[in-house]
Chain A
Amino acid sequence: MPDELTLQDELTLVELVNRVLDRGVVITGEVTISVAGVDLVFLGLDLLLTSVETAVQRKQLPPQTE
């Protein structure tokens, strides 16, 4: 159960990071980073690229997560 909660939190973080970094209105013409179609996850100040593939490999897409 704790593992499922951690994975849900991680997926929510992925969704959050992708939205804040890759979506939203651009006014200045500058973006911090944009990598189309690839999930972006920061750990501390390090940039890691991951994907749902990684989440599946680490196991368990949670059953019908909401």
Chain B
Amino acid sequence: MSGAYLYCIAPAGVVPPSGLAGLEDAPVRVASFGTFTAWYSELDARPEPSIERIRRHNQVVEAALTEEATPVPARFGQWFTAPAALEEKLREGAAVHEESLRRVAGAVEFGLRVAEVEAPPASAPAAVPEATTGRAYLEALAVRAAAGRSRDARGREIAARIASVLGPVVRQERIESAQSRHEVVRLAHLVARRDVESYRAGVAAARRRHPELRFLLSGPWPPYSFAA
């Protein structure tokens, strides 16, 4: 018996284009729940991640992203033992999924990574020393934690500066501290389709205003970062 692999939740009436193939080239099916649908494929086993499967998963989700509709993407690996199990689980959470669809309706996601052209000098050890006294170990941990808080604060500061330039075109923002020396913050922005050009212009303005920063913009994406 086949299991069911979930790609996304879509508004009612949004169906896969004819011939759309999902993972393992399985056809993409639709389960209807009145106010929303679920796009899934029947697979013999839970798929393991690979670049090809990740691309294919996103291709299906992007097929549900139209001028009129925005899906709620599922994370890779949402596999159910049977289509009936998928339907039961989604029906249980119907109110949550309806709210998620409302939250992302009419919008797309952009990713914005911000790096500093001149990286600040490292102020913390790269790793806590292994062979040391307990006091030295705790002191090293404290220094690293302080450096992390400093970086988080810097990231929030930069995010606030960018937000002041972008203005209200960003419906919702997700901020994530970066883990590398050059990258200072990662932002995910939910932007209404009608505001995409204004958003791009805003990012261009932020670049001009902040030559000390480097911006890496990606998108538009389906709203993975705002799915939950």
Residues on A lying within 8 angstroms of B by beta carbon are 11-13, 15-17, 19-28, 30-33, 37-38, 42-45, 51-53, 56, 61-62, 64-66
Are the CB atoms of B214 and A25 closer together than 8 Å?
A: no
Q: How far is the CB of A31 from chain B (nearest CB, A)?
A: 6
Are the CB atoms of A53 and B182 closer together than 8 Å?
A: yes
- Choose one: A12, A26, A45, A52; the contact of B218 (CB below 8 Å): A12
Are the CB atoms of A21 and B54 closer together than 8 Å?
A: yes
User: What CA separation (Å) do A16 and B73 show in the bound complex?
Assistant: 12
Q: How far is the CB of B90 from chain A (nearest CB, A)?
A: 7
Main SS class of interface, B: mixed
- Choose one: B51, B97, B182, B207; the contact of A13 (CB below 8 Å): B51
Which residues does chain A contribute within 8 Å of B224, judged by CB atoms?
Answer: 19-20, 23-24
Check A52/B225 contact, CB under 8 A, given A24-B75, A64-B207: no
Which residues does chain A contribute within 8 Å of B55, judged by CB atoms?
Answer: 16
Question: Looking at the complex, which of B14-22, B77-85, B135-143, B160-168 is the stretch in contact with chain A?
Answer: B77-85
Number of interface residues of B (CB under 8 A): 48
Check A64/B75 contact, CB under 8 A, given A16-B55, A42-B50: no
Chain A minimum-CB-distance residue to B72? A25
Main SS class of interface, A: loop
Q: How far is the CB of B135 from chain A (nearest CB, A)?
A: 29
Q: List 10 A-B contacts (CB under 8 A).
A: A16-B55, A16-B58, A20-B76, A25-B100, A27-B78, A30-B77, A32-B75, A42-B50, A56-B182, A65-B216
Are the CB atoms of A20 and B180 closer together than 8 Å?
A: no
Are the CB atoms of A37 and B54 closer together than 8 Å?
A: no
Residue among A13, A24, A62 having the largest count of chain B Cβ atoms under 10 Å = A24
Chain A minimum-CB-distance residue to B47? A32
B195 near A: Cβ within 8 Å?
no
Which residues does chain B contribute within 8 Å of A66, judged by CB atoms?
Answer: 200, 217-218
Q: How far is the CB of A29 from chain B (nearest CB, A)?
A: 10
Chain B minimum-CB-distance residue to A61? B214
Are the CB atoms of B75 and A23 closer together than 8 Å?
A: yes
- Choose one: B54, B86, B178; the contact of A17 (CB below 8 Å): B54
